[in-house]
Chain A
Amino acid sequence: MPVAERRLVLKHVDQPGYTVDIDCYLRHGGYEELRKALTMKPAEIVNEVKISGMRGRGGAGFSCGLKWSFIDPTKNTKPVYVICNADESEPGTFKDKQIIYKDPHQLIEGMVISCFANNAHLSYIYIRGEFTEGAKILERTIAEARERNFLGKNILGTGFDLDIYVHRGAGAYICGEETGLIESLEGKRAYPRIKPPYFPAVLGLYMSPTIVNNVETLCNAKHIIAMGGAEYAKLGKPNNTGTRCLCVSGDVVKPGYFEFEVGHITMGELLYDVCGGPRPGRKFKAIIPGGSSAKVMRADDVYKLKKRGPDGTTVETQLAFNDVPIDFDTLSAVGTMAGSGGIIVMDDSRDMAQCLANIAEFYAHESCGQCTPCREGSLWMKKITSRIAAGHGRPEDRALLKNVAHNIGGRTICAFGEACAWPVESFIAKFPEEFDPKPPAVPVEAPAPRTPAAFQPTP
């Protein structure tokens, strides 16, 4: 029996007959939570979100209620901004797109609630530039909500004013980093800011207090109001509450997006029962559990975990890959992260050097160029992995790659440094033999190609 999905955010996505217009949304109980939230005090809403224990769904897994509580509207003389991060660009992740394209009013309702809770009167949705259609859908959605007075001046007669605008990015991955996003929204290059002092909650957009939340996080705000924080906290596991959208792609029979209570499904259940297992005649080999920045896992991994028992003694337990529950804490305990929920699966036909070369090329393309270790290191990692993948590897390459990667993490302004170093470090640690020189596919004298060779399944 596959574990049953628990759809909150994706409840109406792909439901037959469900459309994106406001009448359909209202027929399904839309904007009821907003009416309820507007009868509460902003501080009460922040408190409910805190009690819910919901952690941000963008990738870092930071407590949403805590983020909100950094802003004290009573002490602020500057305006507060709420920004929706819809720059979904972590490879392997495609959940926010489903919400934006198929249930956009849910996002707007979540945003109005969040803005009311934080006393923000101007809010932006930063959507990635390639979602041209998504941006149009959201603009129509905002216009409809404004017509019905769920947005604009004096919302539903409460005296609360709010405007939301859609702001399109233009193809830069780094805009998903919250301070890079803020710079971009200010009309500059998306160079992430140094923290401290530029914590968004203190010095964010236009040097004002700012909250940046992921699409799924903002939608969850609506469900927390509907259920109450305490009831929401019963979903999932302690410190890993609520539901989570998971996106599975790569070498499985049935890839797709799903929503489960956090930690209620294991890797094995998800990949075999829900996604139909590997393609015929194949076996799973490597799994990236939380977007391409997360450290890779081996399908035959067995992890040793230390748990503190109720009597205070430490017990060591073993956990096979298939039994790893998908939640924030377990995935970090086994040395990787839940990240953005994008799970990329590779089977035994894949050459890990080619897969890593592909990821390294992505990060080399997307490094913003602000910090030297990342700007230079990402290009070198691309160059070295490409030559290994093309069969021009050198005996010293493995050590060289490790050395380059170790010199990026922790030496950059933003987490992109770690994001590009982790895949390299983990692929080499988990599959060292695949990064040794192999017999070249083409004569050695030929120059290495600019891009890694096409993915050819090995027999």
Chain B
Amino acid sequence: MHPPVNPLEGDVHSSTGEIIPDTRHSHDGHFACSEVVITPEFQDQGDEIMTHYPASRRSAVLPLLHLWQETHGFISEQAIEWIAGMIRLQTINVLEVVTFYPMFRRHPAGKIQVKVCRTLSCALGGGYELRDYLLKKLNVGEPDAHGLATSADGTYSVEFVECLASCGTAPVIMINDDFYESVTHDKADALLAAHPLAPANNPPSA
């Protein structure tokens, strides 16, 4: 059973103003509604972050968003409410930050997220060809309106990002949090094959 797509839950296209219906709600149920449990350890990590900002609770917005996304994968409505509570402001004060910064996702991406640098030095070094190669190799389809292409099983996603500050060793990619430099197609193959989260390295348990 797939819940009907409510066009109002989609995002608004930044330049045309059109509403982009969120079709990804449907392929594995309605994740946007499922709440996660805030564990005491998670709450402690959040409280520790607050101590870094003695002059203003609001300053903790970015680190709290990072904490949430690293733990739970993407910024849900629940995340926004929890953070608004932590900084004692309205949810809109969190939402406006989420929509401004490119690193925050409002939808899950793949378990293995490949970010390819798009900017000039990497483009000169073959960044576009590398991105096209990875799109095909990982069978992630065409990028969506946010530039993210995710495989149907949710294992891989591939996207372009802007300058990653390793221009001398172009082209550069990130796989989750790790940087890789001078990435040839062969090197990309080897990195992805060796990745601990790759399906070949995680046979489904009986």
A binds B: yes
Write the residues of chain A forming the contact surface with B, with a CB cutoff of 8 angstroms: 79, 88-94, 96-97, 122, 128-133, 165, 167-173, 184-190, 206, 247-251, 255-257, 288, 292, 342, 344, 346, 350, 355, 358-359, 361-362, 365-366, 368, 379, 451, 454-455
The complex places the Cα of A188 from the Cα of B59 at a distance, in Å, of 8
**Contact status B167-A94, CB under 8 Å:** yes
A366: B residues at CB distance < 8 A: 162
Across the interface, B169 reaches (CB within 8 A) one of A188, A255, A362, namely A255
**Contact status B102-A251, CB under 8 Å:** no
CB pairs A–B below 8 angstroms (6 shown) = A91-B163, A94-B168, A122-B55, A170-B102, A255-B170, A451-B160
Question: Please, which residue of chain B has its CB at the minimum distance from the CB of A168?
Answer: B66
A167-B62, A172-B101 given as contacts; is B120 within 8 A of A250 (CB)?
yes
Q: In angstroms, how far is the closest chain B Cβ from the Cβ of A169?
A: 7
A89-B163, A170-B101 given as contacts; is B124 within 8 A of A184 (CB)?
no
A358: B residues at CB distance < 8 A: 118-120, 123
The complex places the Cα of A186 from the Cα of B66 at a distance, in Å, of 15
Across the interface, B121 reaches (CB within 8 A) one of A92, A129, A130, namely A92
Across the interface, A344 reaches (CB within 8 A) one of B52, B61, B121, namely B121
User: Does B191 reach chain A (CB closer than 8 Å)?
Assistant: no
With A122-B55, A250-B170, A257-B168 already in contact, 11 other A-B pairs whose C-beta atoms are closer than 8 Å: A89-B162, A91-B163, A94-B165, A167-B59, A187-B62, A188-B61, A189-B100, A249-B168, A250-B120, A255-B168, A358-B123
Across the interface, B103 reaches (CB within 8 A) one of A79, A171, A362, namely A171
Across the interface, B168 reaches (CB within 8 A) one of A91, A131, A256, A346, namely A256
Count B interface residues, CB 8 Å.
50
Across the interface, A454 reaches (CB within 8 A) one of B100, B128, B165, namely B128
**Residues 69-88 (chain B) with a chain A CB within 8 angstroms:** 87
User: Does B192 reach chain A (CB closer than 8 Å)?
Assistant: no
Q: In angstroms, how far is the closest chain A Cβ from the Cβ of B145?
A: 10
User: Does B24 reach chain A (CB closer than 8 Å)?
Assistant: no
Across the interface, A92 reaches (CB within 8 A) one of B54, B61, B167, B174, namely B167
The complex places the Cα of A96 from the Cα of B177 at a distance, in Å, of 18
The complex places the Cα of A361 from the Cα of B170 at a distance, in Å, of 18
A187-B87, A250-B121, A250-B124 given as contacts; is B66 within 8 A of A170 (CB)?
yes
**Contact status A248-B168, CB under 8 Å:** yes
Across the interface, B120 reaches (CB within 8 A) one of A129, A173, A187, A344, namely A344
A133-B178, A171-B101, A358-B119 given as contacts; is B168 within 8 A of A90 (CB)?
no
**Residues 121-174 (chain B) with a chain A CB within 8 angstroms:** 121, 123-126, 128-129, 132, 160-170, 174
Q: In angstroms, how far is the closest chain B Cβ from the Cβ of A167?
A: 7
Write the residues of chain B forming the contact surface with A, with a CB cutoff of 8 angstroms: 15, 52-56, 58-63, 65-66, 87, 93, 96-97, 100-104, 115, 118-121, 123-126, 128-129, 132, 160-170, 174, 177-179
The complex places the Cα of A91 from the Cα of B166 at a distance, in Å, of 9
B52: A residues at CB distance < 8 A: 165, 167
**Contact status B119-A122, CB under 8 Å:** no
**Contact status A130-B164, CB under 8 Å:** yes
The complex places the Cα of A128 from the Cα of B179 at a distance, in Å, of 14
The complex places the Cα of A196 from the Cα of B62 at a distance, in Å, of 27
Across the interface, A94 reaches (CB within 8 A) one of B54, B125, B166, namely B166
The complex places the Cα of A171 from the Cα of B118 at a distance, in Å, of 14
A130-B174, A189-B100, A350-B124 given as contacts; is B63 within 8 A of A168 (CB)?
yes
Closest 6 CB pairs of A and B: A170-B101, A249-B167, A187-B58, A454-B128, A187-B61, A171-B103
**Contact status B163-A186, CB under 8 Å:** no
Across the interface, A186 reaches (CB within 8 A) one of B58, B123, B168, namely B58
Question: Please, which residue of chain B has its CB at the minimum distance from the CB of A354?
Answer: B123
A173: B residues at CB distance < 8 A: 162-163
Q: In angstroms, how far is the closest chain B Cβ from the Cβ of A388?
A: 16
The complex places the Cα of A133 from the Cα of B123 at a distance, in Å, of 24
**Contact status B97-A251, CB under 8 Å:** no
The complex places the Cα of A407 from the Cα of B169 at a distance, in Å, of 36
Question: Please, which residue of chain A has its CB at the minimum distance from the CB of B130?
Answer: A454
The complex places the Cα of A206 from the Cα of B44 at a distance, in Å, of 26
Q: In angstroms, how far is the closest chain B Cβ from the Cβ of A205?
A: 8
The complex places the Cα of A128 from the Cα of B120 at a distance, in Å, of 19
Across the interface, B179 reaches (CB within 8 A) one of A88, A129, A133, A249, namely A133
A165: B residues at CB distance < 8 A: 52-53
**Contact status A454-B59, CB under 8 Å:** no
Across the interface, B161 reaches (CB within 8 A) one of A130, A190, A251, namely A130
B55: A residues at CB distance < 8 A: 79, 122, 206
A451: B residues at CB distance < 8 A: 160
Q: In angstroms, how far is the closest chain B Cβ from the Cβ of A237?
A: 26
**Contact status A247-B129, CB under 8 Å:** no
